[in-house]
Structure 1
Amino acid sequence: MSHRRVRPAPRSRLITWWATAGAVTALALGLPGTSVAADRPAPPEGGIASAPAAFVRGTLAPDAAPPGANNWKCRPTAAHPRPVVLLHATLTNAHTNWSMLSPQLKRAGYCVFAPNYGGAPGVPFKGTKHIPDSAREIARYVDRVLKATGSRQVDLVGHSQGGGLLPRWYLRFEGGTNPARPSHNKVRRLIGLAPSNHGTTLSGLGTLTTALGLNPTVSAVAGQAYSDQLVGSRVNTVLDRDGDTQRGVAYTVIATRYDEAVTPYRNQFLTAGPGATVRNITLQDICPQDRSEHLSIAYDSNAAQLVLNALDPAHAERVHCRFSAPLLGG
């Protein structure tokens, strides 16, 4: 991981982030803390190509599976032997987060599953619970996927919390890996889109609430996952104590320089330990014109191709770089 000095986020990005954070936090008021899986299967047709459209549909139908996901009769093929489990970000849900990538993976021949976690039925803003509690939910869900599909392992693709602290906690502490016998791991690959691997300053918001002692107050509104993902949190400290990775797992991090939520963006990168591999990718190193930030990276066709390549590196395809806009994707 680079130790170069990170430039402060431009003022316009800070204003955008503070406005977004304020709006989302206001909408999150009063969320209860139980969880539900997005079990109702959806057809592979009807994918959504922009983040705002997905947000609207996911808000209206927060417990619906994204298109192409959660067909419990799906059986993996020899070409794609591992089901893909998609893990959404904080203060979102599976439908909102994965309505572009899920049908794309389905069309590519994967069995796709997308749980909701860390939030109550009927509310659109999930992923708010204490991360170790959510990791136990994911452990049960992965076991269910393995039993239903007859597979030995899954691949995880996650966004933000869902690509960082949550799956890493599951891998290390909730049975996702077997340190004594890595060949018996339940997870082969972890691919994180803008993952919160080493905590965030939230473009200064997290630094401010920490300095003012307001993290418990903010977490009471936005959920414990807020505090868990800040730089220096207990969850981060425990996870980082014995290294970033687990034996037998291949990790891919896909980050954007324009991230306004997981900051500095280099906090997303991992360092490979024994028996693991890591590939850290900055989107703009591959597609310089890409302007996706934290929210729109899940609706970025360039990032989607990198996910497909990471899932099946033997058949990786060149990324045909397209312009992807902040908040919209492309």
Structure 2
Amino acid sequence: MISRRVHNVVFSLGIVLLLGTVAVPAQAESGFAPVDRPGPELSVPPEELQAALSCHGDPGSDQQPVLLSPATSVTPEQNYSWTYAKAFTAQDRFWCVVTMPEHTMGDIQVAGEHLVHAIREVHRLTGKRIAVLGHSQGGMSMRWALRFWPDLRPMVDDVIGMAPSNHGTDAMPLCGPGPNSCEPAVWQQQAGAEFMRALNSRAETFAGISYTVVYTRHDEVVTPPESAELHTGDGSISNVATQDVCATNTSTHLIVGTTDPVTYALVTDALDHPGPAEPDRVDPSVCAQPLMPHVDPASVNTYLQPLQAIPGLASTALPGVNLVGAPSVDREPQLRCYVYAAGC
């Protein structure tokens, strides 16, 4: 059992989104913005948006380009440098990463603006429709950009979430005022948060985009695990549990977004074929692999084991005290005016 004094900081790879429930005013479905209303001007300074984006490889590569979005509380280096970045480099695939403010623990509406800029820029650099791939918060947050900036939709071919927090989590309800305050991204990833209501309003998916959701039935962070799934809208959707491919797969939330070979096989399938991933195309031999390709076993000691050693998959700072990242707050951040039907 995790003590109430175990809370957020460094290296939790989205684990801090375990925390919290909060009562917020209900907003009728019709109260949210129409799905086709043009998005607002970005409030983050352009130089900050550009500095947050880092790209690698040949933008003229024949491979579909990928934008990588990190999980709560980590940087792209911690999340991807030893896994998918190496794999995509070996594939001669052009890939980019976006570093979110406040260690990916701040207001996801601000992270969404970073993704708006990054999607536009990667599309501009390559001239291709791109894939956006992310873990946990990073597997959900691109959907905020697509929901409220419809000009992005023709630029994106694939949305791929690895254990994404698409409908929040009902685990560990500890967030509250005073000593139980949490970081903004933690509040926003609770089941029932106003952020989640806005994100999933009117339509979860959009025509012309393929959505692949890979999750594990052993997820202890995004709970229930099926809350990762997408169902509404006009996009092509594939919701796949790793156990649908390999019945004995034991991957947890952390493993799905890092070293799991089944997840990697599904991600690659989605990137290499039209439409979302199809589990029937995955070679059953993947079930016998201990790690996804291109992961150096030594990296597991460097990156993964410290994360697994955190008690109860929570990080270890006192409530209300965050050593890196966003300051803790007593309530969920207010939704921006563009979210509502009344607009700004």
Would you call these one fold, judging by a TM-score over 0.5?
Answer: yes
The partner residue of 1:282 within 213, 220, 241 is: 241
The partner residue of 1:169 within 108, 128, 144 is: 144
In structure 1, the residue corresponding to 2:288 is in which secondary structure? coil
Q: Does the C-alpha gap of structure 1 residues 218 and 89 become closer, same or farther in structure 2, counting only changes over 3 Å? A: same
Q: Deviations over 1:110-166 (max 9, x none)?
A: 1111111132xxxxxx111111111001111222222333x23211111001101x1
Conservation of the 8 A alpha-carbon contact between 1:191 and 1:253: yes
Identity of aligned residues (%): 27
Conservation of the 8 A alpha-carbon contact between 2:158 and 2:209: yes
Question: 2:116: which partner in 1?
Answer: 139
What is the Cα-based RMSD across aligned positions, in Å? 3.1
Question: 1:37: which partner in 2?
Answer: 52
Q: Does the C-alpha gap of structure 1 residues 317 and 259 become closer, same or farther in structure 2, counting only changes over 3 Å? A: closer
Conservation of the 8 A alpha-carbon contact between 2:245 and 2:282: no
What runs of 5+ residues in structure 1 fail to find an aligned partner? 1-14, 40-69, 120-125, 179-184
Question: 1:322: which partner in 2?
Answer: 288
Question: 2:77: which partner in 1?
Answer: 95
Conservation of the 8 A alpha-carbon contact between 1:200 and 1:261: yes
Whole-Å Cα distance in 2 between the matches of residues 97 and 27 of structure 1? 9
Question: 1:265: which partner in 2?
Answer: 225
Shift of 1:22: 2.8
Q: Deviations over 1:192-220 (max 9, x none)?
A: 00000011013xx1x343xxx3499532x
Question: 2:99: which partner in 1?
Answer: 116
What runs of 5+ residues in structure 2 fail to find an aligned partner? 13-43, 292-299, 308-344
Once the two structures are superposed, the pairs formed by residues 196-207 of structure 1 within 5 Å of their partners are 196-202=165-171, 205=172, 207=173
Q: Deviations over 1:57-82 (max 9, x none)?
A: xxxxxxxxxxxxx22x612333x2x3
Q: Does the C-alpha gap of structure 1 residues 100 and 169 become closer, same or farther in structure 2, counting only changes over 3 Å? A: same
Instruction: Report which structure shows greater RCO (CA 8 Å, sep ≥6).
Output: 2
Q: Does the C-alpha gap of structure 1 residues 273 and 111 become closer, same or farther in structure 2, counting only changes over 3 Å? A: same
Question: 2:333: which partner in 1?
Answer: none
In structure 2, the residue corresponding to 1:177 is in which secondary structure? helix
In structure 1, the residue corresponding to 2:237 is in which secondary structure? strand
Whole-Å Cα distance in 2 between the matches of residues 141 and 322 of structure 1? 36
Question: 1:303: which partner in 2?
Answer: 263
Shift of 1:318: 1.6
Question: 2:156: which partner in 1?
Answer: 187
Q: Deviations over 1:147-194 (max 9, x none)?
A: 333x23211111001101x1110111134635xxxxxx1111100000
Question: 1:246: which partner in 2?
Answer: 206
Whole-Å Cα distance in 2 between the matches of residues 21 and 288 of structure 1? 36
Conservation of the 8 A alpha-carbon contact between 1:302 and 1:322: no
Shift of 1:324: 5.2
